[in-house]
Structure 1
């Protein structure tokens, strides 16, 4: 079975793909903005590695969620 092309998707499926892409893009942008503003002492692991992970991986939202729940330390 070959992969469907964009034109093969129904209008509803196309909208769902676009909505998913927008949501993931927003999640990544918000996580990257937080990472840029947060001091390195409040981040678990190296900030460049988190930035690379958030930027390069198409993760269906898992990379931003991992950053929000695991990557940030609570301020003392």
Structure 2
């Protein structure tokens, strides 16, 4: 039988400065990507969106995948 290896989750105070900076940068980029997607969705007429805008509003809230999916599949292109 093999032992299952589990990683201990670090608390904020246990993280190194570099790891804290990385968490802040990744979180900021993720939030900015979602904010830009929501802004684009709000400004775009409904007839230029593939599907209901309400659905895309919820999809964008899904980390990383949602905003990227909106930019790739949610907007109609001429």
Q: Does the pair score TM above 0.5? A: yes
Number of aligned residue pairs = 72
What is aligned with 2:23? 17
Matched, 1:52 2:58: yes
In structure 2, how many angstroms separate the alpha carbons of the residues matched to 1:6 and 1:40? 42
In the TM superposition, structure 1's runs of 4+ consecutive aligned residues that sit over 3 Å from their partners are none
Q: Which residue of 2 aligns with 1:7?
A: 13
Q: Which has the higher contact order (CA 8 A, sep 6+)?
A: 1
Any gaps of 5 or more consecutive residues in structure 2? 1-5
Higher helix share: 1
Largest Rg, 1 or 2: 2
Does 2:75 match 1:63?
A: no
Cα RMSD after superposing both structures: 1.2
Does the residue aligned with 2:20 lie in a helix, a strand or coil?
Answer: helix
| Residue equivalent to 2:36 | 30
C-alpha distance after superposition, 1:32-64 (max 9, x if no partner): 000001111111111001112223x2x1x2211
